[in-house]
Amino acid sequence: MHERVTPLPYYLGCPQWQDPAWNRQLPPASSPLARYSRLFNCVEGNTTFYATPTQAQCAQWRQQVPDDFRFLLKFPQRISHEQLLAGPASEITDFLETVAPLEDVLGPFLLQLPAAFGPEHLENLWRFTDALPAPLTCTVEFRHPSFFEKGEAERALNRGLRERGIARVCLDSRALFSAAPDNDITRDAQRKKPRVPVHILPAEEPEPVVRYIGHPDLETNRRFLQPWLQRVSDWVREGRRPFVFMHMPDNSHALSLAALWSAMLAEYLPHAPALKLEPEPQLGLFGGPE
């Protein structure tokens, strides 16, 4: 029932599990999530950033994915952005209880922090992560400039992450910001996504997490993806299972970007087969599907 079409030796996913444009590209299954999880083995939980689901919804999601699938849920924006991790512990406890039905398929939580979260707030982060009940973990994405300047603030940050075995999300938005802002979709993506340097922690970092934000022209992404091929393949050969997420300015094209990436990576990792999207239906003589 939950058989995956393409087994992968690492985690590959998108920022969501459904989009109307994907209907003809995913294999058949009983729901959008079930269809998505037949091809991909992880997903970013953007939905929990904006609104907390019910426990019943989480239980339904669990039934729709195989045991090796992983949700990287985002903490609600009230906790990460509005309260800068300094809110009442009860809100965190309530959120964790809500998502408890997913516990065996949870990857690390995605803790996205706003640009307002600077060095003066690091103690909030350490209290927050130290209080997470085992075996729950998180991976953290930063946007404050001080954490990218290789100074004392970044050294203190990376030291604290290593002591706790927490991965730092590697956000690569270089392809997106190389695009000319000549349409509304690209301009909106460039406005919303952070433009920060690509910083990667040393090899001892657990479960690397890469979020790649693509160029709107699919083929242009080849040169921006190229440097990641060796790094991800090295991680896999070391026995690690990195998480790689593919975004596009218009995420209706995210599946195509993921397919391009996986085809390129297959040349480095022959045991990592390329994704096979469902073929578009052939048009008949009068323009309809044959």
CATH number at residue 245: 3.20.20.410
The answer to whether position 279 is within a domain reads no
Full DSSP string of 112-131: E--TT--GGGHHHHHHHHHT
Which DSSP helix (H) or strand (E) runs through 110? strand 109-112
The answer to whether position 286 is within a domain reads no
Domain count within the chain: 1
Give percent of the chain above pLDDT 70. Answer: 92
The per-residue pLDDT for range 175-199, each reduced to its tens digit, is 999 999 999 999 999 999 989 988 7
Q: Which residue has the tokens 């058949």?
A: 28
Query: Comparing 110 with 7, which gets the higher pLDDT?
Result: 110
Which DSSP helix (H) or strand (E) runs through 93? helix 89-98
What confidence tier does 4 reach under pLDDT thresholds 50, 70, 90? low
pLDDT at res. 220: 97
User: How far is Cα 241 from Cα 263, in angstroms, rounded to an integer?
Assistant: 18
What confidence tier does 148 reach under pLDDT thresholds 50, 70, 90? very high
pLDDT at res. 5: 64
CB 59 within 8 A of CB 91: no
- Model confidence at 44: pLDDT above 60: yes
Please provide the average confidence, as pLDDT, over all residues in the chain: 90
Tell me if residue 17 falls in helix, strand or coil.
Answer: coil
**What are the CA-CA distances from residue 264 to residues 84, 222, 269 (Å)?**
39, 8, 9
- Model confidence at 223: pLDDT above 50: yes
The answer to whether position 273 is within a domain reads no
The answer to whether position 213 is within a domain reads yes
Q: Among 4-13, 180-189, 195-204, 219-228, which is the least confidently predicted range? A: 195-204
Q: Is the dihedral of CA 176, 19, 258, 66 positive or negative?
A: positive
Give percent of the chain above pLDDT 90. Answer: 76
pLDDT at res. 280: 57
The answer to whether position 277 is within a domain reads no
The answer to whether position 289 is within a domain reads no
DSSP H helical ranges for the chain: 32-37, 47-50, 55-63, 77, 89-98, 122-130, 152-164, 174-177, 184-192, 221-237, 254-266
- Model confidence at 290: pLDDT above 60: no
What confidence tier does 276 reach under pLDDT thresholds 50, 70, 90? confident
CB 201 within 8 A of CB 238: no
Backbone phi and psi for residue 77, each to the nearest 5 degrees, phi listed first? -65, -25
* DSSP secondary structure letter of residue 240: -
Q: What mean pLDDT is predicted for residues 193-220?
A: 85
**What are the CA-CA distances from residue 117 to residues 34, 54, 167 (Å)?**
36, 29, 17
Domain that holds residue 60: 11-266
* DSSP secondary structure letter of residue 269: -
Tell me if residue 138 falls in helix, strand or coil.
Answer: strand
The answer to whether position 89 is within a domain reads yes
The answer to whether position 196 is within a domain reads yes
* DSSP secondary structure letter of residue 151: S
What confidence tier does 203 reach under pLDDT thresholds 50, 70, 90? low
Q: Among 41-55, 57-71, 129-143, 273-287, which is the least confidently predicted range? A: 273-287
Q: Among 1-15, 20-34, 152-166, 193-207, which is the least confidently predicted range? A: 193-207
CB 242 within 8 A of CB 11: yes
User: How far is Cα 74 from Cα 216, in angstroms, rounded to an integer?
Assistant: 25
